[in-house]
């Protein structure tokens, strides 16, 4: 797993547990109201960015590709538009995961991120 192979990724922790560094900005405050307000501010900025994105030419291209009967006539690059939508949604999901780990969990451990699925019986 990448968290245990690369030291810089796990803050050079021998166990692989990622913890917050103490900083002068005090963004990682232990006080839950401060963490809530930080997360609220980030979510508000990202929601405003998403709203503006939907109203821009990118959003109009997404709607044209979604409707599919308009996209070929308007010469919108369908593959590029879909890849951009995927990349932006992946960025939003990554930020949501980072905020979850920062504000709720506090630490991230490699054992908690295993990709193995429980095996179920077929009967």
- Across the range 37-65, mean pLDDT stands at 93
- Across the range 8-22, mean pLDDT stands at 61
> Higher model confidence: residue 53 or residue 120?
53
Percent of the chain scoring above 70 in pLDDT: 58
Least confident of 17-21, 30-34, 50-54: 17-21
Q: Could you give the 3-state DSSP secondary structure of residue 111?
A: helix
Residues constituting the chain = 123
The span from the CA of 75 to the CA of 72, in Å, is: 5
**Backbone torsions φ then ψ of 28, nearest 5 degrees:** -95, 45
Q: What is the model's pLDDT at position 74? A: 74
- Across the range 3-15, mean pLDDT stands at 62
Q: Is residue 42 pLDDT above 90, yes or no?
A: yes
Q: Detail the DSSP E strand segments found in the chain.
A: none
77-106 pLDDT, tens digit per residue, is 888 999 999 999 999 999 998 888 877 777
**Backbone torsions φ then ψ of 18, nearest 5 degrees:** -95, 120
């Amino acid at each position: 797993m990448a968290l245990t192979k690369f030291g810089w990724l796990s803050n050079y922790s021998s166990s692989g547990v990622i913890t917050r560094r103490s900083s002068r900005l005090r963004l990682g405050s232990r006080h839950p109201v401060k963490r809530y307000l930080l997360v609220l501010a980030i979510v508000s900025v990202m929601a405003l960015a998403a709203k503006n994105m939907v109203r821009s030419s990118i959003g109009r291209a997404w709607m044209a590709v979604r409707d599919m009967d308009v996209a070929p006539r308007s010469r919108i690059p369908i593959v590029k538009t879909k890849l951009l939508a995927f990349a932006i949604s992946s960025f939003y999901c990554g930020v949501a995961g980072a905020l979850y780990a920062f504000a709720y969990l506090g630490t991230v451990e490699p054992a908690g991120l295993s990709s193995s699925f429980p095996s179920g019986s077929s009967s």
